Amino acid sequence: MAGIVETRLNELGIVLSAPRAPMANYVPFVRTGGMLTVSGQVCIDGDGKLVAKGQLGGAVSLEDGQKAARACAINLLAQVKAALGDLDKVVRVVRLGGFINSAPGFSEGPKVMNGASDLMVAVFGDRGRHARSTVGVAALPADAAVEVEGLFEVS
């Protein structure tokens, strides 16, 4: 039987693909006590394709950046499900760190990052309301437009 959060995912039409293997010699998550640290996830969709490639303030539009941030959040959820088995075990989304591949001077990172934040609140409700830092970086793995890391309180 699907849990409450997975039922909500279904209602939103979100399918969690198999969690991506790390691109290098590390692991996708580490649990220590009640905290789950999830590695930075880039904006790859279920087919392994980048949702947006390049820089905000450059070739990537604000709207595509938001879709990319949303994809990062979905990839975080896929890792959380792999870690916990059941997304209902998420007590709180504690923090998201958003890295926006940005041309110098691009100032709308928070709007881009909302693609990830809105998803968390849509899925988890108040438990999805998180602390957040958003910064514009010069480069990201695979030239992805967005990367998001996550910290979750879990039971």
Identify the CA nearest to 5 among candidates 141, 127, 112, 113: 127
Tokens of 49: 């394709």
> What token pair was written down for 118?
């809105």
Question: Are the beta carbons of 78 and 38 closer than 8 angstroms?
Answer: no
Task: Decide whether 9 or 73 has the Cβ nearer to a copy of itself.
Answer: 73
Cβ nearer to a copy of itself, comparing 9 with 150 = 150
Q: Which is nearer to a copy of itself, 2 or 35 (CB)?
A: 35
- Closer by beta carbon to a copy of itself, 2 or else 12: 12
Report how far residue 125's alpha carbon sits from residue 129's, in angstroms, rounded to the nearest whole number. Answer: 7
Nearest approach in angstroms of CB 17 to a copy of itself is 20
Cβ distance 30 to 82 under 8 Å?
no
Which residues of this protein are in contact with a copy of itself, per CB under 8 A? 22-30, 32-35, 37-40, 54-55, 57, 92, 94-97, 99-100, 102-111, 113-114, 117-118, 121, 129-143, 147, 149, 151, 153
Q: Name the minimum Å distance from CB 108 to a copy of itself.
A: 8
